[in-house]
Amino acid sequence: MRIGRWRILSHLARLLLVVSLGGSITALSVSDSAHLQAVYPSKLELVLPHEGDLQMLGASSGNDAKASILITVRSNVDWLLRVKGYHGGRMQKVTDSGVLLKNQMRVQYTGASPSRDVVLTNSYKNYRRGPPGEYLMPTDFKQRFAWVDQPTNYTTRISFKVSPD
């Protein structure tokens, strides 16, 4: 009879132990993580129209001639667009490199809130700047022709450079 009680108590104790252990196992939480990494480099793009050389319209002594283009800048960093000309910003006679126009060419942003004219020189000058994004910039090239300028064909090259600001 005493053994019988002992066995009952032993089974009860085991049962309590199993229940208690089982309860503690379900209460534990396990976790793990995945580490993600991405390299997103800064990038700048500059697009000028290349449908051929630009022809200025309205060239006449004592007046301004004009050519319009659309410049595209794409950047994921703050950017600065600069512009420069050649020969001191002056157009030169096509067939004779020694003959230059009297006045320098000017560049103007003509979009919303148009900017003031930028007079072209041999050195880069600030033209536009902005935060990351894609920008379409309508731009006018303006050339004043003086009466002392020879009537002939003139040409020049205009360079733009976009860089992180």
Residues at the contact surface with another protein, assessed by CB under 8 A: 37, 39, 41-50, 53-56, 59-62, 65, 67, 69, 77, 91, 94, 105, 141, 143, 145-164
Tokens of 48: 């000028």
**Residue (76 or 115) nearer to another protein, CB:** 76
**Residue (12 or 47) nearer to another protein, CB:** 47
Give one DSSP letter per residue of 78-144, joined into a string. -EEEEEE-SGGG--EESS-TT-B-SSPPEEEE-SSSPPPPEE--SS-EEEEEESSEEEEEEEEEEEE
Rounded to a whole number of angstroms, the minimum distance from the CB of residue 153 to another protein is: 5
**Residue (1 or 148) nearer to another protein, CB:** 148
Tokens of 82: 């600069």
Residues 6 or more apart whose CB falls under 8 angstroms from that of 5 comprise none
Rounded to a whole number of angstroms, the minimum distance from the CB of residue 62 to another protein is: 7
Beta bridge partners of 132: none
Rounded to a whole number of angstroms, the minimum distance from the CB of residue 6 to another protein is: 53
Tokens of 40: 């997103």
Rounded to a whole number of angstroms, the minimum distance from the CB of residue 91 to another protein is: 6
**Residue (61 or 122) nearer to another protein, CB:** 61
Rounded to a whole number of angstroms, the minimum distance from the CB of residue 129 to another protein is: 13
The answer to whether 164 touches 120, Cβ cutoff 8 Å, is no
**Residue (128 or 143) nearer to another protein, CB:** 143
